[in-house]
Amino acid sequence: MWIEFSEFNPKLLILLMFPVFKRIQDVTKEFALSSDNFIFQTFRYFLNYLFAIIPLLIIKCRMKNNKEITNEEKKIKEENEEMKNKLLPGQIVLLEKRKEAKKKYLNILYIGLICIIGIGCYIFRKYFEKPEHKEVTQTIGIFFEIVSFVALSYLLLKQKLFKHHFIFIGIMAIILLILFCISIPFLKTEYILKSCGYFFVFSLLFALFAILGKSYMIKFYKSPYFSMLVIGIVCSTFLLIYDTLAYFLGGDKRDKISGIIIGFQNNIHSVGDVFKFILELFIQSLTSFGLWLIMYYFTPCHYFISEYIAEFISFLIKAVKNYGNEELYSIVNIIIYSIVSFINIICCLFFNEVLILNICNLDDNTKKRIMQRMQIEEDSYNINKIIEIEDEKTSEKNSENNDKSSRHSSIELI
């Protein structure tokens, strides 16, 4: 077969979680609270991370069944620590404590950096995003996103890139650039370069936010739910403190520099509005779960499968709404874009080894083939070991037989 699935993994359904709930979130925007103020909008985005406490509590409840085991493990750990403190010299114990303190410092540094970059993404969007940029999100926007995720994964996570990676990312990049060139006549000239600059910086910031989150989970063995909860608490608390000071000390500029308190005053007028606010946060949290679960279970580059699907669905909806009203959404452009998007989604699957192409040795360095070769080598090693053991047994038997025969012959001689 030329094409095959890498492996059947039910977790691949997580890749659909982000586009599905992102689309639901887009639909519910019409009924959502006002989000003109970017401080209120940013606060709501990070506040939805607090819903991560629900799966954390569920996991904790499940762990109660193994309480006796965990208590036993804890007891053993404490005994080992006591033995270590008795046996090791004071200097080594001090080094251990310093190592632990350094780990805590790095933990705080990682969280702080992730939070700063996350809030920075929203600040950048506030001051530089224009409505015209949305027209090229599906082309140059995705192009810069793919480049940023691949480059930063290579630099920060040391993700290895092989021949099949370069070929498929090359195909995607060329197709996206061609699509962008086709759409240029339908765009306002003054926004073309601005759109490129905007998406280059924003994609870099967002990719850095996601990849540092992945790195944090790897280095400190944290779950996506714990990571989300901590980031949500830190960012929400920081924004709330800032907004409280801005609101009460801002004076005449209060309406310009404050947002959260004003946002609640303008939007929350009844119990129904409170439920509406919570429901909006919950739907937004499911989209956020999609992103963080992809980072946890897969590589950051798997994210642009979800992003591409989400943007393609968004394009089709826009095309249906604006068909016949705008030249960009003519029947020819819709067909071309749909075919090209399908090709790129397939290329995303090949790049991330969800699908494997068995031609021109493109499958040689895929994870599946590497694991198969390792299994063959391991089996070969085990077989050789068995043969060696059998040979040793045979030689031992032969030597025993030779000893017996020599004894027998010596007896006969006597």
* Average pLDDT value for residue range 27-53: 82
Task: Give the residue with greater pLDDT, 138 vs 202.
Answer: 202
Quote the DSSP letter at residue 325: T
pLDDT over threshold 50, residue 94: yes
Confidence label for 170 from pLDDT (cuts 50, 70 and 90): very high
Segment 80-95 shows an average pLDDT of: 59
Those residues whose C-beta lies under 8 Å from the C-beta of residue 170, and which sit 6 or more positions away, are none
The residue type found at 26 is D
Q: Give the pLDDT mean for 8-27.
A: 84
More confident residue, 396 or 351: 351
Instruction: Quote the tokens at residue 177.
Output: 């650039």
Of 120-124, 288-292, 343-347, 374-378, the poorest mean pLDDT is in 374-378
The answer to whether the CB of 304 falls within 8 A of the CB of 145 is: yes
* Mean local confidence (pLDDT), 145-153: 93
Residue linked to tokens 């989150």: 213
Q: Is the pLDDT of residue 44 over 70?
A: yes
Determine contact, residues 357/3, Cβ cutoff 8 Å: yes
| Residues facing 356 on adjacent strands | 4
Nearest Cα neighbor of 178 from 216, 215, 143, 219 is 143
Q: Is the pTM of this model over 0.85?
A: no
Measure the CA–CA gap between 69 and 73, rounded to whole angstroms. 6
pLDDT confidence band for 380 (50 / 70 / 90):
confident
Burial of 232 (0-12, 13-18, 19+ CB in 10 A): buried
What is the tens place of the pLDDT at every residue in 216-249? 999 998 999 999 999 999 999 999 999 999 888 8
Using CA atoms, how far residue 6 sits from 25, 356, 368, in Å, is: 32, 6, 6
How many Cα neighbours within 13 Å face the side chain of 345?
Answer: 17
Q: How far is 37 from 40, CA to CA, in rounded Å?
A: 6
* pLDDT digit string, tens, across residues 341-353: 888 889 999 998 8
Burial category of 118 from C-beta neighbours within 10 Å (exposed 0-12, middle 13-18, buried 19 and up):
buried
pLDDT, average across residues 392-414: 61
Instruction: Retrieve residue 387's tokens.
Output: 């043969």
pLDDT at residue 115 above 90? yes
CA distance 214 to 293: 10
Mean pLDDT of 407-411: 53
Arithmetic mean of pLDDT, 302-320:
84
More confident residue, 386 or 91: 386
The pLDDT value recorded for residue 214 is 94
Q: Would you say residue 296 has pLDDT above 80?
A: yes
Q: Which residue has the higher pLDDT, 124 or 396?
A: 124
Across the range 360-369, mean pLDDT stands at 81
Q: Is the pLDDT of residue 189 over 90?
A: no
Compare 307 and 189 and report the one with higher pLDDT: 307
* CA dihedral (351, 356, 361, 364) positive or negative: positive
How confident is residue 358, by pLDDT bands cut at 50, 70 and 90?
Answer: confident
The residue that leads in pLDDT, 262 or 329, is 262
Position 35 confidence tier, pLDDT thresholds 50, 70, 90? low
Segment 283-289 shows an average pLDDT of: 91
Amino acid at 43: F
The yes-or-no verdict on residue 413 having pLDDT over 50 is no
Return the pLDDT at 109. Answer: 93
- The domain spans of the chain are 3-358
Query: Could you tell me which residue, 117 or 95, shows the higher pLDDT?
Result: 117
With both helix axes pointing from N to C terminus, report the angle between 14-28 and 271-297 in degrees, rounded to the nearest 10.
Answer: 150
- pLDDT at residue number 69: 47
Rank 179-188, 201-210, 300-309, 381-390 by mean pLDDT and report only the highest.
Answer: 201-210
Assess whether pLDDT exceeds 50 at residue 54: yes
3-state secondary structure of 191: helix
- Contact by Cβ (8 Å): 23, 373: no
Question: What is the average pLDDT across 121-147?
Answer: 84
Backbone angles phi, psi at 357, to 5 degrees: -100, 115
Average pLDDT estimate for 352-374: 83
The DSSP H or E segment spanning 323 is none
User: What does 227-290 look like in DSSP terms, one character per residue?
Assistant: HHHHHHHHHHHHHHHHHHHHHHH-GGGHHHH--HHHHHHHH--SHHHHHHHHHHHHHHHHHHHH
CA-to-CA dists, residue 254 to 65, 163, 238, angstroms? 52, 56, 18
Find the range with the poorest average confidence among 186-190, 205-209, 231-235, 346-350: 186-190
Q: What are the tokens at 337?
A: 């874009």
Q: What is the pLDDT of residue 265?
A: 87
Contacts of residue 38, defined as CB under 8 A and 6 or more positions apart, other chains included, come to 122, 123, 125, 126, 259
In this prediction, residue 236 carries a pLDDT of 94
Q: What is the CA radius of gyration of the chain?
A: 30
pLDDT at 201 over 90: yes
Mean pLDDT of the chain: 82
What's the pLDDT tens digit per position in 245-270?
988 888 778 878 888 888 888 888 88
Spatial distance between the Cα atoms of 16 and 310, rounded to a whole number of angstroms: 9
